[in-house]
């Protein structure tokens, strides 16, 4: 028996071993063969077939029809579009591949303003997109955001922006006996000279008249809006070094104000932004107003299904403000950087971004697009036919400050907002003790 079973057993084992080694070999080679083998040379021959990959997230409004319009004009180009579900997913993918020397990055990467500091920190890994023919295409502050820190290179072509207005619940305003039409609300909050003090004052009035409805959605939302109006919140623009948080009185005052208004005065709904509770507060009349960048209208609509009192007031405390917006960057490791640059320039042209606005509601960052009939006449029926096109064009024009965001902006910002959430949402300690925690968290970063 033994001699008859032996050979088969051995061959089976040998097979298993071979299979194991083969699997190993496959896994190893798979890591190295991410190139598709496009051998068209860069630049030189502009008619050689080229495959361009573009990676975006959420919904940029780049439909297949829009992309097809480019390939019709350029028959040699094939476009592959990959879409990540969220900005965070896209960021993780982006940083990981960047860490691996750029292998696997798309030829064109969409980058959220939140992670633009990474691009600026490692500007050599990206193609300089400067092009004199594109001067004046974007709002000035958008171009500043997309440039290298010394302003010598343009690293990203702007797609959309997030100019902020105040979204509010018309029905709750009415119930509290306040003016409820958009112009009346804008006037109530101070019109063109609206300040945060005025906003909080009206809030106290509202809260005293409403039945347990808070004034704004979350402490973080208001903090985010207010910190976006400071030129150099956490770092020095000249050299990118971090300011010592313990002695940063601007931020400490801001923290104290927001904490006092949110918790002590009870103006904020006690929810962490984007949490399940926050989502549900939309359905439960949790709050009456919120700082509302253009893209937020989509989130509000999703969260407030069935609630139809929303409207938008063409006003923002403390001057204009911007929250969010994205860029298209071209990693230098790509095989077809020139072709990618051409395509990115085409995609961010006013016509295409106007089309993207119609597709997804992302507000264009291009001066010409904002002035176009299509954008200015746009209304949003969920917000009781608010003229969103006009409102956000005005709001974008009101933006005067572009906060400097260096490599440590988000570390420091989350140290402060964590302390804010600990105080406002979780009711821990005092304002002073939470500020000390923020300073401690800052010191733990070891960047001072």
Partner 1 sequence: MSVQTHALPPTGLGERDPRPPRRVGFSQRLGRWDVKLSPYLYISPFFLLFAVTGLFPLLYTAWVSVHDWSLIGGQGDMVGLENYTAVLQQEEFWLSLRNTFAIFLISSVPQVVMAIFLAALLAQNIRAKTFWRMGVLLPYVVAPVAVGMIFGQLFADQYGLINAILNAVGLPSVGWHSSTFAAWSAIATMVNFRWTGYNTLIFLAAMQAVPSELYEAAVLDGAGRVRQFFSVTVPQIRSTIIFVIITSTIGGLQIFDEPRVFDVKGVGGPTHQWETTTLYLYNVGWGPQMNLGRASAVAWMLFLVIVAIGLLNFLITRRISSTADQRAQTRKERRAYKDAVRRLRMPLAAREADPGSVAATITADRATSGTSAEDESPRRTS
Site string for partner 1, 391-420 (x = CB under 8 A): -----------------x-xx--x--xxxx
Element at 111 (helix H, strand E): strand 108-112
How far apart are CB 287 and partner 1 at their closest, in Å?
Answer: 12
Does 275 participate in binding partner 1 (rule CB under 8 A)? yes
Out of 67, 98, 129, 219, the residue judged to bind partner 1 by CB under 8 A? 98
For 268, the 3-state DSSP assignment is strand
Does 20 participate in binding partner 1 (rule CB under 8 A)? yes
Separation of CA 286 from chain center: 25
> What is the maximum alpha-carbon separation in the chain?
98
User: What's the start-to-end Cα distance of the chain, in Å?
Assistant: 76
Q: Which residues pair with residue 274 across a beta bridge? A: none
Does 24 participate in binding partner 1 (rule CB under 8 A)? yes
Does 427 participate in binding partner 1 (rule CB under 8 A)? yes
108 Cβ partners below 8 Å, 6+ apart?
52, 53, 54, 55, 328, 329, 330, 340, 343, 344, 347
Does 241 participate in binding partner 1 (rule CB under 8 A)? no
How far apart are CB 275 and partner 1 at their closest, in Å?
Answer: 5
Out of 4, 26, 99, 249, the residue judged to bind partner 1 by CB under 8 A? 99
Measured from the CB atom, is 218 or 289 closer to partner 1? 218
Outline where DSSP puts E strands in 240-391: 287-293, 310-313, 322-329, 363-364
Does 280 participate in binding partner 1 (rule CB under 8 A)? yes
Does 30 participate in binding partner 1 (rule CB under 8 A)? no
Q: Which stretch binds partner 1 (CB under 8 A): 17-25, 56-64, 303-311, 352-360?
A: 17-25
For 108, the 3-state DSSP assignment is strand
Dihedral (CA of 262, 263, 268, 274) sign: positive
Does 276 participate in binding partner 1 (rule CB under 8 A)? yes
Does 284 participate in binding partner 1 (rule CB under 8 A)? yes
Outline where DSSP puts E strands in 132-204: 156-169
* 90, two tokens: 């896209």
Q: Which stretch binds partner 1 (CB under 8 A): 9-17, 68-76, 311-319, 348-356?
A: 9-17
Report the residue count for the chain. 448
**Contact residues: partner 1, CB under 8 A:** 2-3, 10, 13, 16-17, 20-21, 24, 28, 88, 92, 95, 98-99, 118, 121-122, 125, 270-278, 280-281, 284, 286, 408, 410-411, 414, 417-422, 425-428, 437, 440-441, 444-446
């Amino acid at each position: 028996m033994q001699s008859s079973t032996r050979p088969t057993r051995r061959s089976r084992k040998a097979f298993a071993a071979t299979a194991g080694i083969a699997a190993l070999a496959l896994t190893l080679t798979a890591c190295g063969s991410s190139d598709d083998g496009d051998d068209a040379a860069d630049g030189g021959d502009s008619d050689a077939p080229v495959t361009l990959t573009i990676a975006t997230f959420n919904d940029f409004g780049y439909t297949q029809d829009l992309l097809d319009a480019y390939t019709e004009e350029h028959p040699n180009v094939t476009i592959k579009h990959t879409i990540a579900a969220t900005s965070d997913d896209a960021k993780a993918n982006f940083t990981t591949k960047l860490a691996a020397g750029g292998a696997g990055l798309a030829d064109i990467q969409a980058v959220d303003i939140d992670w633009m500091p990474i691009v600026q920190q490692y500007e050599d890994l990206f193609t300089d997109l400067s092009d004199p023919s594109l001067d004046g295409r974007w709002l000035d502050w958008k171009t500043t955001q997309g440039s290298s820190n010394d302003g010598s290179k343009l690293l990203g072509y702007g797609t959309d922006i997030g100019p902020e207005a105040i979204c509010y619940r018309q029905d709750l305003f009415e119930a509290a006996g306040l003016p409820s039409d958009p112009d009346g609300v804008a006037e109530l909050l101070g019109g063109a000279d609206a300040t945060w003090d005025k906003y909080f004052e009206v809030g106290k009035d509202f809260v005293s008249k409403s039945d347990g409805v808070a004034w704004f959605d979350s402490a973080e939302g208001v903090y985010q809006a207010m910190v976006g109006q400071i030129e150099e919140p956490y770092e020095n623009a000249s050299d990118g070094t971090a300011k010592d948080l313990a002695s940063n009185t601007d931020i400490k005052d801001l923290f104290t104000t927001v904490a006092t208004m949110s918790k002590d005065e009870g103006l904020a709904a006690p929810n962490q932004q984007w949490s399940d509770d926050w989502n549900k507060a939309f359905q439960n009349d949790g709050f009456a107003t919120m700082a509302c960048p253009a893209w937020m209208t989509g989130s509000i609509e999703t969260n407030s299904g069935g609630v139809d009192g929303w409207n938008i007031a063409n006003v923002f405390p403390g001057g204009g403000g911007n929250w969010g917006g994205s860029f298209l960057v071209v990693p230098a490791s790509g095989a077809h950087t020139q072709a990618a640059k051409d395509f990115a320039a085409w995609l961010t042209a006013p016509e295409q971004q106007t089309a993207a606005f119609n597709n997804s509601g992302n507000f264009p960052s291009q001066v010409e697009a904002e002035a176009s009939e299509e954008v200015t006449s746009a209304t949003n029926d969920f917000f009781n036919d608010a003229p969103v096109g006009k409102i956000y064009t005005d709001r974008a024009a009101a933006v005067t400050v572009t906060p400097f965001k260096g490599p440590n902006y988000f570390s420091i910002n989350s140290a402060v907002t964590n302390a804010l959430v600990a105080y406002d949402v979780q009711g821990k300690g005092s304002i002073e003790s939470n500020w000390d925690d923020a300073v401690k968290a800052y010191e733990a970063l070891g960047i001072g």
